[in-house]
Amino acid sequence: MEAHLQFLVKKKITLSFLIIAFLVFCFLILNKALNKDKTYSPTFQNQKVTYLPDFNLPELFSSNEIQLSEIVKDRDFSLINIWASWCVPCREENDLLKNLSNISSLQNIGINYKDKKKNSINFLNNYGNPFKYNLVDYNGTQSINLGAYGVPETFLINKNRKILLKIIGPINNDHIRKIKEITNG
């Protein structure tokens, strides 16, 4: 009887210890979760998609179909920027993109996202045209094909369409520095 009781007490102590350990674990996890960024952005993971898929899109002015794999051959690096005339950050980004078009090994390719032709041409006239090619994604499906989710969004790729850099949201000076490092090096 005595031994049995002792066994029960021991069992109770072990169980309590386990429960407390579990509670402490939960507390630590939740505490850490509090300071984590809750919004999801596909860049943090998904390292598997390293190549941009090839696609055809019409050109803005001429409406001729242009194939991505054809035009990326021209230079060592291509910067693909998804933009729209109705997108406010795209206006601020425009100057930085013009700045980048001076790099000889790099070409800028613009993808006009869900826009009206008139508005986008006006935009390029007013703010300047930093792009060598202006492609049009009228219904936004090609951008989804690229794994993008809004404007502005930018990819830096090489000749083989390997993604070297992916920028969600407007480009800043840090990104410019990175792009210059990659393209000059």
Does 27 bind another protein (CB under 8 A)? Our answer is yes
Options 72-80, 102-110, 114-122, 156-164: segment touching another protein (CB under 8 A): 114-122
Give the residue, chosen from 2, 3, 5, 33, that forms a contact with another protein under the rule CB under 8 A.
33
Taking CA atoms, 143 is separated from 33, 62, 177, in Å, by 32, 21, 25
- C-alpha–C-alpha distance, residues 106 and 12, integer Å: 69
Judge contact between 68 and 159, C-beta under 8 A.
no
User: Is residue 89 involved in binding another protein (CB under 8 A)?
Assistant: no
Give, as one character, the DSSP assignment of residue 36: S
Element (H, E) at 94: helix 88-100
- The correct pick among 10, 12, 159, 177 for binding another protein (CB under 8 A) is 12
Does position 145 interact with another protein (CB under 8 A)? The reply is yes
Work out which of 10, 11, 116, 162 binds another protein, going by CB under 8 A.
Answer: 116
| Residue 62 binds to another protein (criterion: CB under 8 A) | no
How far apart (Å, rounded) are the C-alpha atoms in residues 149 and 40? 12
CA dihedral 28, 30, 35, 38 (to 10 degrees): 150
User: What residues make contact with another protein under the rule CB under 8 A?
Assistant: 12, 16, 19-20, 23, 27, 29-36, 38-40, 42, 44-46, 48-49, 86, 113-116, 139-141, 143-145, 147, 149-150
